[in-house]
Amino acid sequence: MDELKEVIKNYVTDEYLEPDSDPIDYETPLISGGIVDSFSMVSLKRFLENKYQIQIPDEKATPEAFDSVNKIAELVKEFVKG
């Protein structure tokens, strides 16, 4: 689980944070904190689907479910387990 969280955290840091931004942790609000907006969420979802060979249904891909590394990891785990 920690490895999964690190992958997500690193991807968000590399792709969505500007240089010199404050670092994020597993609980940092991503959507409500304005780091990842609803349009960009699509590319984050696509990354997770590609990386873990899963399909996250649109109804599960809510702003609330993507609002922190911890929440995203929970969501991914649900589908990786099958």
Binding site for other proteins (CB under 8 A): 15, 18-21, 29-40, 42-43, 46-47, 49-50, 62-64, 67
Residue 12's CB: how many other CB atoms inside 10 A? Answer: 22
Nearer to other proteins, 2 or 57 (CB): 57
Nearer to other proteins, 26 or 47 (CB): 47
Query: In the complex, what is the shortest distance from the CB of residue 81 to other proteins, in angstroms, rounded to a whole number?
Result: 21
